[in-house]
Amino acid sequence: MPAPRPRNVFAGPYLDRASVLRRDDAWVAAALADPATRYVPVWQSQSLLRREPEPAAVLLERAALADAGPGEAILLGRYQGTTCFAVEWQAPMPALPPAAEFADLRLAAWLLPHDEAGLLAYARAMVYWRARHRYCGACGAPTRATSAGHVMTCTREGCGTESFPRIDPAIIVLVSDGERALLGRQASWPAGRYSTIAGFVEPGESLEDAVVREVREETAIDVAEVEYHSSQPWPFPSSLMVGFRARAGSTRIACPDGELEDARWFTVADIAGGTPGLPPPQSISFRLIADWYLEACGRRLEDERGARLWSAQR
C-alpha cells in the first residue's frame, strides 16, 4: 500500500466547525460572551501573525478588538479546544500586539503550521464572502447575517432570500508525456516563472471534462487518463483547487486562447537545474510537480538545491 500523501496547505481536519450550533442563538451569544473565546482578525484581506520567535497565527481576546470597529463575528468553530470567530477589522491600521503584523496569507502561509494556516484561510474566505453579499441578489435589499455569520438573509418582507458561502471550483493539472512535464506561464508573471495548467470549471461540466478542455484551450495538447490527485482550499479569493494528473495524448504545443504567454515541456534535468522557476511550496501546483518529479527520478524536489522556487526563501 502506498504511503499516505501529505495534505496540502490550508487543508485538513484542523478544527470542529460546530455547524450544528450555528443556529443556536443562545449558544452563540454565550460563546461571544465567554472570555476564553478567541478572534481571528482580517484587515484589508490580510491575516494577523507574528514572525518571532517562530511564525504563528495571532488570535485575539475580545478586549483587543474594542477600538477596531469590527463587523459581526463569524463562527469558525472549535480550534484546539477554544471557540474561534472571524472578524473583519474595519478601522485603519490598528495597534498590534508585540511582534505581530498583518500579512498576505498567500505569501506567509508556508511559514506557518498547517493547522494555523488553515484557520487563517477559513477566516479570510468567510470575511471576503460576506463583504460581497451585503445586498440581496434577488431584490437588492440589504441583508443581515444569520446562522452565526454563515447565511446572509434578505431583510425585505416577502423575499427573505438566503445566500450561503460559495466557492469557485477550479481544476489544476500536471500533464506529462512520461519523460516531461507540461508547464505554462502568464504574461503578467515575472520572467522565468511557470506553473501547471489551471482553469475554472464551467456550468454543466464535470471536473474531468474541465481538465481536458482547459489543457486543450491553453496549450492545444490532448490529454488522456485523467486521474484525481488531491484538492486545496485557495481563498484568493474563493477557490477550491481540484488537482489532477493526466497523460498527454499529443506533444505539439500552441497557446490558442491567449490565456498563456508560453507553454513548454520540461524534463527532470531542466527543473533540477533551475529552469523554470517553480510555484511556491504552499501551492498544490508545487505538490503536483513534486510528486511527478519524485516518481520520475526518485529524488525529492524539496531537496534539490538547484531548483528555483517563486519564493526566494526555502
pLDDT value of position 94: 67
pLDDT value of position 313: 40
Q: Yes or no: say if 184 and 194 are a contact pair by the CB < 8 Å rule.
A: yes
pLDDT value of position 65: 77
CA distance 170 to 126: 18
pLDDT value of position 262: 96
pLDDT value of position 67: 56
pLDDT value of position 90: 78
Q: Would you tell me how many other CB atoms lie within 10 Å of the CB of residue 168?
A: 12
Q: Can you give 65-88 as a three-state secondary structure string?
A: HCCCCCCCCEEEEEECCEEEEEEE
Residue for grid cell 505569501: 107
pLDDT value of position 257: 86
Residues of the chain with pLDDT under 50: 1, 70, 312-314
Whose CA is closest to 246, among 283, 210, 206? Answer: 210
pTM of the model: 0.90
Q: Say which CATH class 1-131 falls into.
A: alpha beta
Tally helices (H) and strands (E) across the chain. 6, 17
Q: Say which CATH class 168-309 falls into.
A: alpha beta
